[in-house]
Amino acid sequence: MGLKLHGSALSTCTARVATAIYEKGQEFELVPVNLVTGEHKQPGFLAKNPFGQIPALEDGDLTLFESRAIASYVAEKYKDSGCDLIRHNNLKEAAFVKVWSEVESQTFHPVISAIVHQYLILPLLGQQTDQAVIDANLEKLKKILDVYESRLKNSKYLAGDFFSLADLNHFPYIFYFMRSPWTSVVNDRPHVKAWWEDISSRSSFKKVAEGMALGQK
């Protein structure tokens, strides 16, 4: 039985999981969950994720939620095929993958997601954007990316000189952020810019990005 990914092609968290699956050379069935009609809050989906958020992955009798945990599961399950996203044969490299994955979820994500939410999501819901929230988070993002710039001066990717889950986890939000008027925050930092151009040219990302039509505004 194949992998079933319950979510939406437009959703950043669904995109994260889809990218991990493609990196491992696997396929999946996307089972659409309609957020507009609130399908994710109905019993059918709540049985898959009681928190009522997409995505959820079904792999046989196993059902998982939380996109980073799912991507990590995929990376473990298929560790011997495709790109080794977790450096499972090297304790130190694997530790750096964990460190920079935590940086993504704990430090980077809250800031960039606040900007994307204000700039892209609220207008779609017919709600007003709060420029003060965007500005405050842009300042925070600049400081975070200054740290990334220093890191990427010394290593090609975040966890080392190898592409990993830590880089992959960043993809969906930077993808949408790069559709905003503030791309200079990335492009003014040459090593961050080169890193983004490198990781976003991977075939797994390109395949997933095609489905993120929301970003083509």
The stretch near ligand GSH (CB under 6 A) out of 62-70, 73-81, 142-150, 173-181 is 62-70
Q: In angstroms, what is the minimal distance from the CB of 67 to ligand GSH? A: 4
> Given the complex with ligand GSH, which of 13 and 185 has the nearer CB atom?
13
Residues 1-40 that bind ligand GSH (CB under 6 A): 11-13, 35, 40
- What torsion do the CA atoms of 171, 176, 178, 183 make, to the nearest 10 degrees? -110
What residues between 42 and 61 interact with ligand GSH by CB under 6 A? 52-54
Nearer to ligand GSH, 139 or 210 (CB): 210
Question: CB of 124: closest distance to ligand GSH in angstroms?
Answer: 12
Cβ nearer to ligand GSH, comparing 69 with 99: 69
Which of 156, 142, 147 shows the shortest CA–CA distance to 187? 142
Cα–Cα distance measured from residue 53 to residue 100, given in angstroms and rounded to the nearest whole number: 24
Other CB atoms closer than 10 Å to residue 130's CB: what's the count? 12
* Spatial distance between the Cα atoms of 159 and 167, rounded to a whole number of angstroms: 8
Q: Which one of 24, 48, 68, 87 is in contact with ligand GSH (CB under 6 A)? A: 68
Compute φ and ψ for 59, nearest 5 degrees.
-130, 95
CA dist., res. 28 & res. 59, Å (int): 10
Query: Which spans of this chain sit near ligand GSH (rule: CB under 6 A)?
Result: 11-13, 35, 40, 52-54, 66-68
